[in-house]
A and B are shown apart, each in its own frame.
With several copies, the nearest count.
Chain A
Amino acid sequence: MAEFLSLRDAVARYVEDGATVAMEGFTHLIPFAAGHEVIRQKKRDLTLIRMTPDLVYDQMIGAGCARKVIFSWGGNPGVGSLHRLRDAVEKGWPHKVEILEHSHAAMACAFEAGAAGLPLAVLRGYVGSELPSVNDQIKFIECPFTGERLAAVPAVRPDVSIVHAQKADRAGNVLVEGIVGVQKEAVLAAKQSIVTVEEIVDDLRAEVDYHPNACIIPGWAISAIAVAEKGSLPSYAHSYYPRNNAFYKEWDGIARDRDTFTRWIEENVMKAGGNA
């Protein structure tokens, strides 16, 4: 049953040093507030899973939280590189970070398989790609009915998943709307889960925009809910606020240089309250 906690308490309780953590949100509803809380609490040695690392993982990697990153597209969308990710992988700053690299299709299937309680995902994938030569987690199986060779990857089963959503109600049920990405799968695949939300409403079913088949995660499938207003800025929240495109461009300058980056984190994350 979801417990309503402050973001600080939720991260303190559920994100342990050394844990495998998935923070999802496919360009939309990226849990930045939660990422900043992880940085403030100086979590270390995390295995960070995310299809598109984006700025949130660039910040966490630069701040020294990550030991390993599992991803399928690691760029600053619409801008260029993730300089902190590259600096960690290529130059080992602030320390060496290991990467494990997939395609989107494989990671999406791996989250889906995790949610479905399976140990593996099977897909028509990686045909002719050299990714299997650098990722020993990609194997191939033979279909027992057709003999076709199919790719197999291990299911994603994080220790904790963190996602951001529009609303929760007092019973802890969460609504995700718009681009829903793999958030529901991330929550269901994880042992523990934290959902940050823009706001708490009385009852999702009583909301004017309630729809019988809306993407709702029931409160009993979530560990903790924390209110984090504007919790996904500079990414966006459908029907709440738009993406801060200017900041994505600015980030390129901030993240290019270690000192500029460190100052930015110090001023904008470490010194900020629980809701930066």
Chain B
Amino acid sequence: MSTVDKDLDYTSSEMMTVTAARALQNGMTCFVGIGLPSEAANLARLTHAPDVVLIYESGTLQTKPDVLPLSIGDGELAETALTTVSVPEMFRYWLQGGKIDVGFLGTAQIDRYCNLNTTLIGDYREPKVRLPGGGGAPEIATNAGEVFITLKHSKRAFVDRVDFVTTLGFGRDGKGRDGVPNIGKGPTRVITDLCVMKPDPETKELVVVSLHPGVSREDVIEATGWEIRFAETLESTPEPSARELEVLRELKDRTARAHAGA
């Protein structure tokens, strides 16, 4: 999937997952998207944040899967949940009801204002590529306290203008949340396999705040579809610890074994 960094004993994928995991604090309630967010959220739970509360849109509240789910409603999620509620209750009482600290999302496309596109590439009526659609994201992004986004860095994903705003970041002009009542803070960080970005407090444009070890500014510029900005004091993302890598690899091994069987 990803290449091993030359001098380091971990892949850029692992770097991304570990960094995304670290964003979650113990005790937070997290509405988890499937795929990369789910991997990061469970790594957090298995390392520094044992009491992070993981919630999946299938209605599974406070779930502790032993292996990563393939779908948002795997049996594993229900069997390890504190309790499982209906999907309407999940979206109404738990998400819209304001019980979610952070929504953790992936995406196919993202722009400089963190708007997300998971609907299609091309024109809506004549799509070049049809993607799955909104799912839970449009309301997770507005009803959760804040939003973390994690995805691989590439020019296809980081585009100057998303083909469709499925899910609000800060709008086409960065002002999409201004004056909207009862709305969350929106995206507060984007974690990729190259860096960590945060929206500028004023303009809401994404700014690289931290580069992963071994990654250069040019690597990021190269993989971004707009003229990406860098923070004045650019940090270096801390490396994964041995324990984080061990736990992550065990988790992925367990997952592979479990899903190979079925």
Task: Indicate if A touches B (C-beta under 8 A).
Answer: yes
Q: Which residues of A are interface residues toward B (Cβ below 8 A)?
A: 1, 26-28, 51-52, 71-75, 77-78, 81, 85-86, 89-90, 101-106, 108-109, 111-112, 115-118, 123-131, 134, 146, 148, 173, 178-182, 184-185, 188-189, 204-205, 212-216, 218, 220-221, 236, 238, 242-246, 248
Contact across chains for B92 and A213 when beta carbons are under 8 A apart: no
The number of residues on chain B lying at the interface, defined by a beta carbon within 8 Å of a beta carbon of chain A, is 67
Contact across chains for A128 and B165 when beta carbons are under 8 A apart: yes
Say yes or no: A213-B84 contact (C-beta < 8 A), given A108-B91, A124-B143, A181-B58: yes
Contact across chains for A78 and B34 when beta carbons are under 8 A apart: yes
Contact across chains for A28 and B58 when beta carbons are under 8 A apart: yes
Over the window 172-199 of chain B, the binary record of Cβ atoms lying under 8 Å from chain A Cβ atoms (1 yes, 0 no) is: 0000110011110000000000000000
Say yes or no: A109-B88 contact (C-beta < 8 A), given A28-B73, A75-B132, A243-B74: yes
Most chain B beta-carbon neighbours within 10 Å: one of A72, A73, A77? A73
Contact across chains for A123 and B262 when beta carbons are under 8 A apart: no
Say yes or no: A130-B164 contact (C-beta < 8 A), given A73-B133, A86-B130: yes
Cα of A160 to Cα of B61 in the assembled complex, Å = 23
Sample of 19 more A-B contacts, CB < 8 Å, known A72-B133, A246-B262: A26-B59, A27-B74, A77-B71, A86-B130, A90-B130, A117-B182, A123-B96, A124-B143, A126-B138, A129-B165, A130-B164, A146-B181, A179-B73, A180-B84, A180-B86, A185-B88, A214-B83, A216-B82, A218-B83
Most chain A beta-carbon neighbours within 10 Å: one of B27, B93, B136? B93
Please tell me which one of the listed residues A131, A185, A242 contacts residue B138 in the complex, with CB atoms under 8 A apart: A131
Contact across chains for A101 and B119 when beta carbons are under 8 A apart: yes
Cα of A238 to Cα of B75 in the assembled complex, Å = 7
Contact across chains for B75 and A127 when beta carbons are under 8 A apart: no
Q: How far is the CB of A217 from chain B (nearest CB, A)?
A: 9
Residues of A within 8 A of B166 (CB): 129-131
Contact across chains for A188 and B97 when beta carbons are under 8 A apart: yes
Contact across chains for A213 and B96 when beta carbons are under 8 A apart: no
Cα of A74 to Cα of B79 in the assembled complex, Å = 25
Between A and B, 13 residue pairs with Cβ closer than 8 Å are A27-B72, A103-B139, A108-B87, A116-B97, A117-B97, A117-B98, A126-B138, A130-B164, A188-B93, A218-B53, A218-B62, A245-B70, A245-B262
Contact across chains for B142 and A104 when beta carbons are under 8 A apart: no
Residues of A within 8 A of B138 (CB): 103, 105, 125-127, 129, 131
Contact across chains for B82 and A242 when beta carbons are under 8 A apart: no
Contact across chains for A181 and B82 when beta carbons are under 8 A apart: no
- Identify whether the interface residues of B are mostly helix, strand, loop, or mixed: loop
Cα of A173 to Cα of B260 in the assembled complex, Å = 35
B18 within 8 Å of A (CB atoms): no
Residues of B within 8 A of A238 (CB): 75, 78-79
Say yes or no: A26-B73 contact (C-beta < 8 A), given A74-B132, A115-B92, A116-B93: yes
Q: How far is the CB of B110 from chain A (nearest CB, A)?
A: 14
Contact across chains for B96 and A124 when beta carbons are under 8 A apart: yes
Cα of A28 to Cα of B79 in the assembled complex, Å = 12
Please tell me which one of the listed residues A1, A86, A104, A213 contacts residue B85 in the complex, with CB atoms under 8 A apart: A213
Cα of A14 to Cα of B74 in the assembled complex, Å = 31
Over the window 45-60 of chain B, the binary record of Cβ atoms lying under 8 Å from chain A Cβ atoms (1 yes, 0 no) is: 0000000010001111
Q: How far is the CB of B123 from chain A (nearest CB, A)?
A: 10
Residues of B within 8 A of A127 (CB): 138, 142, 168, 180, 183
Cα of A186 to Cα of B219 in the assembled complex, Å = 50
Contact across chains for A220 and B27 when beta carbons are under 8 A apart: yes
